[in-house]
Amino acid sequence: MVNARLRERLAQRALLVAPGVYDMVSLRLADTFGFEALYMTGFGAVASHLGLPDAGIATYTDMVGRVKQMASQSRAPLIADGDTGYGGLLNVRHTVRGYEKAGVSAIQLEDQEFPKKCGHTPNRRVVPMDDMVRKVAVAADSRSSADFLIIARTDARTALGLDEALRRGEAYAKAGADIIFIEAPESEDELAAIAKRTPKPVIANMVHGGRTPVLPVARLAALGYAAAIFPTLGFLAAAHTLKGVYGELLRDGKASAPLYPFTEFNELIGFPDVWDFEKRFAETE
C-alpha cells in the first residue's frame, strides 16, 4: 500500500526538501535526519550501481531493483527517478506499476528522446509534446492508488526555450500529472516565472554545478515551490571526500582526514540488531 504522507505533506503548501540518495548507505544516513522525503537520483544510482553515465544505459530491470531495495528501508517517503519510462506506452504502464509495487511514493517521468541524458548535460532532445501527454495519461491511469504521485518533467527549456517548457508543463498538468518539474532553468527570474505560471505544484532541481542557480530553500519557498530536490549533493560530497583520503593514502602512506566513526557506521548499517540476535539465539555447545 502506498504511503499517503507525501501527498498529504504537499497539500500543506510549504516547501518540502528532499536530499538525493544514490545507494543504501546514503539512504540510511539521510533517513536519520528526519527529512520529510528522500529523492532517489537516477544519475547517482546509475553511477553507483553500474559505474556508468546517466545516458539511457540503465534499464528498467537495473533500476526497479534499486528502487525496491531503497523503499524497503526508508522511513521517509521516497521519490524515484523513472527516466522516460523505459520504452513505449506499454513500458510506461509496466514501469509505473513496478515502481508503485516497489513501495515508492512518487515516480518522475520525463519527455526526452531515448536515449535520455542527465538534465544538466548538453545535446538533450525532447519528444513531441503530444507524445508526453499520452505518457502522462497512461502513467496516471496505470497506478492503483491516487496517493502514488506522478511527477512530469520537461527538458524543453534548454533546446526550445522557457515558453515552450511552460506550455508543456501546463499540458502535462492537464494530462494528470500531480507535480510539474521544469528542468534546467538558467536564472532566478526563470525559476520565479515557472513557480508563478505553472498550474500544479512545482519542483525545483538544485544541481550543484548544473545550469540552474542553487538558491537557499527559504528563497525557493518564497517563490512558491512545493518541493526542492538536491540530487547531486550526496554523491559529490562522497566523491570529494574519497578523492582526498585515497590520494592521501597513496601520496603519504596514511589517511588522516576526519572519518565517520566506525562504531557509528556499525549502528547505521544495523549491526546492533545482528548482535542482539546472536545473544538471543546463539548456538551453544
First to last CA, the chain: 45
Residue type, 173: A
Return the higher-pLDDT residue of 241 and 121. 241
Residue type, 94: H
Q: What's the longest Cα–Cα distance across the chain?
A: 75
Q: Which of 7, 80, 6, 68 is nearest to 36 (CA)?
A: 6
pLDDT at 283: 66
pLDDT at 40: 98
d(CA 31, CA 33): 5
User: Has residue 284 got a pLDDT over 70?
Assistant: no
Q: Are 181 and 225 in contact (CB under 8 A)?
A: no
Q: Is the peptide bond before 115 cis (omega within 30 degrees of 0)?
A: yes
The contacts of residue 221 (CB under 8 Å, 6+ apart) are: 14, 15
Q: Is the dihedral of CA 202, 203, 209, 215 positive or negative?
A: positive
Average model confidence (pLDDT) for the chain?
Answer: 94
Average pLDDT over residues 190-201: 96
Q: Which of 63-72, 122-131, 134-143, 199-208 has the lowest mean pLDDT?
A: 122-131
d(CA 165, CA 156): 5
CA angle 98, 100, 102 (to 5 degrees): 70
Query: Where residue 80 falls among pLDDT bands split at 50, 70, 90?
Result: very high
Return the higher-pLDDT residue of 275 and 121. 275
The contacts of residue 48 (CB under 8 Å, 6+ apart) are: 22, 23, 235
In the chain, the domains with their CATH numbers are: 5-239 (3.20.20.60), 246-281 (no CATH)
pLDDT tens digits, one per residue of 102-122: 999 999 999 999 878 776 777
Percent of the chain residues topping a pLDDT of 70:
99
d(CA 83, CA 95): 10
pLDDT tens digits, one per residue of 5-58: 999 999 998 999 999 999 999 999 999 999 999 999 999 999 999 999 988 899
Q: Which residues of 176-194 are buried (b: 16+ CB within 10 A; e: fewer)?
A: bbbbbbbbbbeeeebbbbb
Query: What residues does 126 pair with on adjacent strands?
Result: 112
pLDDT at 9: 93
The contacts of residue 145 (CB under 8 Å, 6+ apart) are: 1, 2, 100
Q: Which residues of 93-115 are buried (b: 16+ CB within 10 A; e: fewer)?
A: bbbbebbbebbbbbbbbbbbeee
pLDDT at 256: 87
Q: What is the pTM for the complete model shown?
A: 0.94
pLDDT at 194: 97
Q: Which H or E element spans position 7?
A: helix 5-10
pLDDT at 124: 85
Residue 134 is given by DSSP the state H
Spatial strand order in the sheet of 149-154: 179-182, 149-154, 106-110, 78-81, 38-40, 16-21, 227-230, 203-205
